[in-house]
Amino acid sequence: MERRERTHRLIELGGLIQKSGLADAVGDDRATLYGALLSLAETLSPADRQATLALWRRRGQRAFAAEQDAKASLTAQPAVTP
């Protein structure tokens, strides 16, 4: 069961990298992706770690909300008939 949960978590994390556009931006180059993520992790200095995480969280929440709104507006539109 733990292995299944771990696998699900890893798939979700990979999906977020794809959803962010980063994978396409670097041509799916794993070394480049890994380097980018390492650079990002280095920006989390102890002095401003919480503020940076809060900023990232808000940005992610807004992006998820915008995506949900876009999906909802597509399903709410009446079908166009010829």
CA–CA dist 44, 34 (Å, integer): 16
Residue 78 has pLDDT above 70, yes or no: no
**pTM value?**
0.74
CA–CA dist 25, 40 (Å, integer): 16
Report the percentage of the chain scoring pLDDT > 70. Answer: 93
pLDDT value at residue 82:
63
pLDDT value at residue 81:
63
Amino acid found at 43: T
Q: Are 26 and 36 in contact (CB under 8 A)?
A: yes
CA–CA dist 21, 5 (Å, integer): 25
pLDDT value at residue 79:
61
pLDDT in tens, 22-52: 999 999 999 999 999 999 999 898 889 999 9
